[in-house]
Amino acid sequence: MAERGEQVVVWFVRYGAAWVRAAEHPGAVVAEARADRQDQHCPPGTVWRRDVQLELARGTALRRTVSRPQARSMSPMEHLLSGSLEKRREVLEVHYRVVGPDQLERQESR
Q: Quick one: CA torsion of 59, 56, 26, 42, rounded to 10 degrees? A: -130
Q: How many domains does the chain have?
A: 1
Whether 22 and 52 have beta carbons less than 8 Å apart is answered as yes
Q: What is the pTM assigned to this prediction?
A: 0.73
Instruction: Evaluate whether residue 3 is within a structural domain.
Output: no
CA distances to 5, 11, 21, 77 from 88, rounded to whole Å, are: 11, 21, 23, 15
Report yes or no on 2 lying in a domain: no
Residue 74 in domain? yes
43-65 pLDDT per residue, tens? 777 777 788 999 999 999 999 99
Assigned domain for 33 exists: yes
Structural domain containing residue 37:
8-106
Tens digits of residue pLDDT in 6-50: 788 999 999 999 999 999 999 999 988 877 877 777 777 777 778
Instruction: Show contacts of 38-44: CB within 8 Å, 24+ apart.
Output: none
